[in-house]
Chain A
Amino acid sequence: MANLFVISVLSLLIGSGFCCDQPSVDSSYYTSTNLKLGKNAAFVVELTVKCKNNVQDLKLYADVNGVQYPVTKSPEGNNYQVSWTAKNKKSPAALFDVKFFDESGYNALKKAARINQDANTVKPLFSVDVKHHGMSSGFWVSSELIALAAASLIFYVVCNERSAVIS
């Protein structure tokens, strides 16, 4: 009986220490849009997570379209970052719903995958929307060429004017 009591108290303590209660999330993201920089699209999401029960050192996992990625934490504070790449053809312009799971959520997700259960039944800790505008190689004429063309046109006009005066 005493053992059961100790185990329950310990579980409560441990559980409350590692479960984030009512997280508030501050997030920002970057997605690559320039095809000239690389054929794969790169995504980076940075976030700050504050739990109501002041849990530190959360271990988080991100789920993007059914693929899980580990989330790294900065040594100080509650700053987290996750990044991934995808082939450009597989990442057109879209709104990505990036779900974040704590350790228990991640285990539940893995279990659901093993027993062929729908992954949407596992509730994430929180989710972040990432808007990807798609990748493009930009305008087919470079900006310095346009600047040179404009400068050449002006120079041609002024040369004509000068020639008319000098002749």
Chain B
Amino acid sequence: MAPKSSNFSKEEELLLQDFGRDLSRKSSVIFYVHALFVSAIPLWLFNRIHQMEMLDNAILFVIGTIFSAYFVALAYKNNKFELKHKIAQKRSDGVAAELNAKMSETESKKISKKEKDERILWRKNEIAEAESMQLAVFYTNSLFLILLILSSFFFFKSYSPMPNYIISMVGASSITGLLSTSSQK
């Protein structure tokens, strides 16, 4: 087995960073903040509808929210990675046309083809990053909330509030995280 090589060129490292599964710090922060917010929404539901007191169940709510936020953030990450490649492919022609239109003829002659391709790649990456993040968050949030509504208000309706909360939150977040690990080829 070939040993892992850390001798990547700068361009290769940049490519890995842009199209790899790892998130930048900014993306991580955005994802975790969204995940915490979405995981905290059910607290209002369980407080107002299932009549669970916030202070009495504070520990359970904190653990449940953190657990759910972890899996929802994981789902964001996986969905974003899957979508980014596809979006980059779809937007490739459009981005190239946009950049060519922006550059004047003289400017276009001045810069090399390699630099032009790099600019297109960078712009494509920027657009794909933003769009894939937004779509991943939107999709994951809607999936999580629909699973939560189904489990809490239909499947486990007759359960008492505390088991209802535990099962609904664990179930909805786990299934959301699990479904994000699937990939379409």
- Show the binding face of A for B, using Cβ within 8 Å: 144, 147-148, 151-152, 154-155, 158-159, 161-162, 165-166
Contact = CB atoms under 8 A, between A and B. Distances in A.
A159 B146 contact: no
A47 B149 CA distance: 42
Interface string B60-90: 0000000000000000000000110011001
A72 to B, nearest CB: 28
A166 B132 CA distance: 11
Interface string B128-172: 000000010011001101100110011000000000000000000
A165 B86 contact: yes
Contacts of B135: 158, 161-162, 165
B184 interface: yes
Interface of B: 82-83, 86-87, 90, 135, 138-139, 142-143, 145-146, 149-150, 153-154, 184
Given A148-B146, A148-B150, A148-B153, A162 B139 contact: yes
B139 A151 contact: no
Contact of B138 (A144, A152, A158): A158
Nearest to A151: B146
Smallest CB-CB A-B distances: 9 pairs: A144-B153, A155-B142, A151-B146, A158-B139, A155-B146, A158-B142, A154-B142, A165-B86, A148-B149
B48 to A, nearest CB: 11
A147 B149 contact: yes
Contacts of A151: 142, 145-146, 149
22 contacts: A144-B153, A144-B154, A147-B153, A148-B149, A148-B150, A148-B154, A151-B142, A151-B146, A151-B149, A155-B142, A158-B135, A158-B138, A159-B139, A161-B135, A161-B138, A162-B83, A165-B83, A165-B86, A165-B87, A165-B90, A165-B135, A166-B184
